[in-house]
Amino acid sequence: MTHQTTIGRTVGFLALALITAPAHAEATEPDDALLEEGRQIFVELAEPQCAVCHALSDADAVGEIGPNLDDLQPSAQQVHAAVTGGVGVMPAYDGLLTQEQIDALAVYVAQVTGADTSLED
């Protein structure tokens, strides 16, 4: 078999795999209760409160110490990692917030900034 034949077959198999692969379910929008929980954590429950350091228009937050989240538009995965482990002077909230609260916060920030809300890899 020639090199071109091998490449042609490989391309053909990849194309077939893409055509016949099951379509992924459409991403679902986070529900309102989860988003409200995330907003409440952002403005009230986290200690220190996220709104003290970060600007986020949906939360009426105008903090200037940390990044402006409206401009940064972090994904839910990025927010989750930052909140869990801390970044720079930002403290880690792992142990201060439950994993469910961190998830809600991450999805909320991503949703209101127009970023990817998926927490899955």
Query: In whole angstroms, what is the distance from residue 114 CA to residue 111 CA?
Result: 5
pLDDT tens by residue, 2-30: 544 433 343 333 232 323 333 333 456 88
Question: Helices H, strands E: what count in the chain?
Answer: 6, 2
Question: What is the C-alpha separation between 100 and 52, in angstroms, rounded?
Answer: 22
Q: Report the residue count for the chain.
A: 121
d(CA 82, CA 91): 9
pLDDT at 30: 83
Average pLDDT value for the chain: 83
Residues 28-55 have a mean pLDDT of 94
14 or 106, higher pLDDT: 106
Q: What is residue 27's DSSP assignment?
A: P
The H-assigned helical ranges of 21-98 are 32-40, 50-53, 69-72, 76-85
Of the two residues 8 and 67, the one the predictor is more confident about is: 67
Q: Can you tell me the mean pLDDT for 17-46?
A: 73
Residue 117 pLDDT = 96
Instruction: Provide mean pLDDT across the span 76-97.
Output: 96
CATH no. of 32-113: 1.10.760.10
pTM for this predicted structure: 0.76
